[in-house]
Amino acid sequence: LFLLVIGSGRMLVTAVGVNSQTGIIFTLLGAGGEEEEKKEKKGKMQDGNMENNQTKVKKQDGAAAMEMQPLKSAEGGEADDKEKKKANVSKKEKSVLQGKLTKLAVQIGKAGLVMSAITVIILVLYFAIDNFVLLKRPWLPECTPIYIQYFVKFFIIGVTVLVVAVPEGLPLAVTISLAYSVKKMMKDNNLVRHLDACETMGNATAICSDKTGTLTTNRMTAVQCYVGDVHYKEIPDPSSIPPKTLEILVNAISLNSAYTTKILPPDKEGGLPKQVGNKTECGLLGLVLDLKRDYQTIRNQIPEEKLYKVYTFNSVRKSMSTVIKLPDGSFRMYSKGASEIVLKKCSVILNETGEPRVFRPRDRDEMVKKVIEPMACNGLRTICVAYRDFPADPEPNWEDENNILTELTAICVVGIEDPVRPEVPDAILKCQRAGITVRMVTGDNINTARAIAIKCGIIHPGEDFLCIDGKEFNRRIRNEKGEVEQERIDKVWPKLRVLARSSPTDKHTLVKGIIDSTLVDQRQVVAVTGDGTNDGPALKKADVGFAMGIAGTDVAKEASDIILTDDNFSSIVKAVMWGRNVYDSISKFLQFQLTVNVVAVIVAFTGACITQDSPLKAVQMLWVNLIMDTFASLALATEPPNEALLMRKPYGRNKPLISSTMTKNILGHGVYQLIIIFTLLFVGEQIFDIDSGRNAPLHSPPSEHYTIIFNTFVMMQLFNEINARKIHGERNVFDGIFRNPIFCSIVLGTFAIQIVIVQFGGKRFRVLISIHVCPALGQVISTIPNSKLRFLRGAGQLSKKDEMHEEEMNEDQEEIDHAERELRRGQILWFRGLNRIQTQIRVVNAFRSSLYEGLEKPESRTSIHNFMTHPEFRIEDSTPHIPLIDDTDIDDEAARKNSSQPSSPNKNNNAIDSGINLTTNMSKSAASSSPGSPLHSLETSL
């Protein structure tokens, strides 16, 4: 940015529009696709036979894309077109759990349909052969209604088998678990914008984190100083500093800094003071406060308008100087800046008594070796504070900077740092234990980044890791033509831990390279944290993007999936824990549900084939489905997480949804329940001395025999629900059961309702058999080695074909599924980026609705070029406090509909102003089966 307040100047424009840095960022965010589509359509309307010109335009667009696309394949233009196409499609890849559940649901649905069809066929054939072949009964017309009733009964039994086989409660469990987790994550400072991100984070294998504000406090603080020939590793007591030196030091810091830089009281009692303005100057002002002095009192004595001369900081002098006029008419200049620059201009230094002594070059070299270098190795930024006195007569030539900024007297050297958040090292250690690799991607210099990474625990001395800057990173990953090659990235990212001096394109390239890598068996699931507009492309490309809720810009928030309301890395660890808890909650319900389904299907199928009637009636199965699907999903999907979730590696995308332990539990409990049910079915009347319910007439009332079977079946499932709380072979199935009051309430409530139904809904309740055996049986099953059960291990396992992105699967099709039903996220980012001028647009549209009535409609002004050329909008003007949910969105939509601007070619323009209301998204996902939700995907598959 070239800013000229007064006078004249020159500037060299090296890039404009989509070729500028801002243009590249918005293109990576997908905001340039709409403009290209409009140009193509406009060209077609002007001349139908413009193939040659269109070819040239495409070539030019391809060349522009080559410059802006950070990761290009070696195939050339065709691959670039694919990348370009992907950039314009909303990121709607199925999450790990969603993909596995979809495949598993299809498998279960097919198996249930086959079992249902076989059941109906066997019943019909058995009835027909028994009556018309063996008994040789003729088909009498008057008996036709009776036969039809039998066939309808067989069909109902088949439908019962199908209903039992299909786990219709699974989508509900997914939705409940996600919604419950999202609500609880709000208390852990995680605002989830996309429900799938909650579960995806549980499978994260890599986190690319920003440094400032995330790993650190974003509060520059003075921690060391060298004053009076003494190096203090901590801020000294004011009494240990010579009074004369202390006075000059306090005046130098208070006056030689922007008066807009202040330290204000905290917003909340017990909080940290607020730093306003330049962070480095805030660190120095904090030093003044630590020395028990008040900088504001000094500023009040010498207000800003009384400062005689100010040399502002610039990249050439790397220092700032302020001249004041003393009461005797003489002048004093205070200077501060980079220690290696300012010390070269010092010829005198204050000693331990506050008196000046000669500061020779060898003294400077010794100070650099013993003071500055140790501070820098600790990740500190060293600032030297100095001053110089000038006589009143003759007055110096203040324009001769070379002579003014020399012969300084050094006061002290201050080491300031952005302290690491106290909870970050422990959080990173938890991530590493959980199998997650944490990488720091920052714009700071490599020495500071490396020092902070060591303090955080990202890197450890003696380990094999890479710590490089953006220039070295590009040299390693690009070929002779300057193109990024995936093979080169694969040689860098596994050992890379710190990437310093990184640009937005570098961050995007790194994230894309890790995601697209085939170096390891499991595809990497990458999470990215960021707060600025420059982080937008990487946040959007990542599997899960974390934006900072306090310091984050609107572009970063819109590109993210989860917003950290406290800008703290430890909140990411909580997101990982909740994500893994979602996965485990679904696995718990799945283990329980499949046990019910296997037993119920076999009982209904076998009973129907042998006795020509299902022991479990359709009405009874409705109750079983209610308690086993709805209630159980609510009970098992609301289990709270614990720290044990972070003690294992991520599941991975290719690992089967049903583990060996789950398979063992399902088969063990299924066999046990089948033995009990078949025993009651075939010899139960003898055990309880009651009438047999087998081979009952067509419309006979419910028998006591089958009531016992129904009640026993329900009770076994109810107590098996407790066993289903543990899916990793834990012995104590009651551990933490009272931490989930919902689970306890549902189990006890279902137990009470079942007693009421059996006692008062039918014949006398006479069974308490086998219901207490289930918890003990779980201990027996746990002793069976998993290695003995190598079959049925592929259920729900994703193949490489299933693992492909949805956009890759549909890249050759004209229509894309639910991803095309939403407005492209790039467009959302585009309009949110122009949030500051929405009010102006609304007013203008109100006038245009009447002004342009009956006239030609004006063209839409949403292109990148117009965005670049609007002088009233600048990126630096955007504030991070603009709300994500705009109360005027509905009015904006109405104004656009009534305005004279042409509508966008996208059919879902209203998605622009739909906001990101979390409650609405959750209700849609749970109630209306919106496209893209787990519920919709499973319903579509089934």
Q: What is the pLDDT of residue 883?
A: 38
Residue with tokens 């991070």: 880
Which residues of the chain carry a pLDDT beneath 70? 1-9, 18, 21, 26-27, 30-96, 315, 628, 695-702, 761-942
Angle at 55 between CA 54 and CA 61, to 5 degrees: 85
For 521-555, write each residue's pLDDT tens digit: 888 899 998 887 778 888 988 989 998 888 778 88
Q: What is the pLDDT of residues 304-332, one digit of tens each?
A: 999 999 998 876 778 999 999 999 999 99
Q: What is the pLDDT of residue 159?
A: 83
Report the candidate in 348, 324, 329 with the shortest Cα–Cα distance to residue 408: 348
Query: Rounded to 5 degrees, what are φ and ψ at 760?
Result: -110, -10
Beta carbons within 10 angstroms of residue 889's beta carbon: 16
- Token pair listed for 665: 């539990």
- 317 in Cβ contact with 340 (< 8 Å): no
**d(Cα 696, Cα 706) in Å, to the nearest integer?**
11
Domains of the chain: 233-412 (3.40.1110.10)
Residues contacting residue 94 through CB under 8 Å, at least 6 positions apart: 102, 196, 806, 937
pLDDT at residue 653 in the model? 72
Spatial contact of 504 and 540, defined as CB atoms under 8 Å apart: no
CA distance 880 to 873: 15
Place of tokens 């291990």: 793
pLDDT tens digits, one per residue of 357-366: 999 989 999 9
C-alpha separations of 378 from 218, 531, 569 in Å: 17, 25, 21
Closest CA to 807 of 29, 79, 89: 89
Chain center to CA of 277? 30
Q: What is the DSSP secondary-structure string of 435-458? A: T-EEEEE-SS-HHHHHHHHHHHTS
What is the C-alpha to C-alpha distance for residues 301 and 293, in angstroms, rounded to an integer? 14
> Which residues does 897 contact at the CB level (< 8 Å), separation at least 6?
none
| pLDDT > 90 fraction of the chain, expressed in percent and rounded | 20
pLDDT of residue 60: 39
The structure tokens listed for 110 are 């097919």
Distance between CA atoms of residues 51 and 549, nearest Å: 48
Contact 302, 327 (CB under 8 A): no
pTM for the model: 0.65
Residue 206 β-bridge partners: 437, 526
Q: CA geometry: angle at 864 spanning 860 and 870, to 5°? A: 80
List active site positions.
210
In angstroms, the CA 707 to CA 758 distance is: 8
2, 136, 143, 156, 610 from 127: Cα distances, Å: 91, 12, 14, 15, 11
Please say whether the beta carbons of 295 and 253 come within 8 A. Answer: yes
CB 501 within 8 A of CB 444: yes
Cα–Cα distance, 613 to 594 (Å, whole number)? 23
Distance separating alpha carbons of residues 71 and 218, to the nearest angstrom: 31
Q: Are 638 and 742 in contact (CB under 8 A)?
A: yes
Backbone φ and ψ of 554, nearest 5°:
-65, -35
